[in-house]
Amino acid sequence: MNIQEKIADIQTSTNTMLCIGLDTDIAKLPEGIERTVQGVVEFNRLIIEATKDVCCSYKINFAFYEQYGTSGFDAIEKTLSYIPQQHVTIGDAKRGDIGNTSAAYANAILNEMGFDSITVSPYMGADSVEPFLTSDNKLVFLLALTSNSGSKDFQYLEIDGKPLYQHVITTSQHWKRNSELGYVIGATHPQQLKTIRDLIPTSPLLIPGVGTQGGNPQEIKEANGNGVAFVNVSRAIIYASANKDFADIARTTAEMYCKQLSL
């Protein structure tokens, strides 16, 4: 099964674009979970068990784990082992460097760890991204138009009459194996998302920013049209309760977003 078939199967069976972000912060672990790296793993396990039938994907934000060194990487691998095989896994690592360094990053995350996809910075150009595209049946999500307020510092700068984020998209479409490229487009830019979808109607999109950051699911659905997308919700689901009922409340909240982001 190739990655496109895997995406189609899981989104058909769950009928949703909902991706749950496991941006797990020790300081925010709920009552009943010890505030250690081991507690992070147990929390993730319970969240996954509670939500796996109402989402199509899980995204692991590496920064929340890497800060703990080797035990953090162990937590990533243990968390991955709890995610059902049919779900799409996103390694939100935001890598990008010169060719041989990118090749090492790609091997670590896509091959050794076994993530289905990875987020990559395109700032250094084609030769820094192409090593991530050498693994079969993997997706590479390029940062194009991000959900944070600082995205306007550079991403909207006009060059030859077009914003920089559009140049990232149109230029990268001419790179090798561009069929395995997707793009990170923030949910806080619904009008721009519609324009982007017109440019790349079939490319997969990773759309963060729904929930705590204020992105509106209905606006995103309308702007995305029929394109393949993973709409990520992190804090609004996993921290929906700070009490012992956190898994049940996460489930209820995920069900709500699952319906709002139905296909």
Q: Which of 28, 78, 94, 194 is catalytic?
A: 94
In one-letter notation, the amino acid at residue 142 is L
Give phi and psi for 179, each to the nearest 5.
Answer: -65, -15
Other CB atoms within 10 Å distance of the CB of residue 125: 12
56-66 burial code (b ≥16 CB/10 A, e <16): bbbbbbbebbe
Chain center to CA of 77:
17
Active site residue 28: no
What whole-number distance in Å separates Cα of residue 234 and Cα of residue 21?
4
Report, as residue numbers or ranges, the catalytic residues. 94
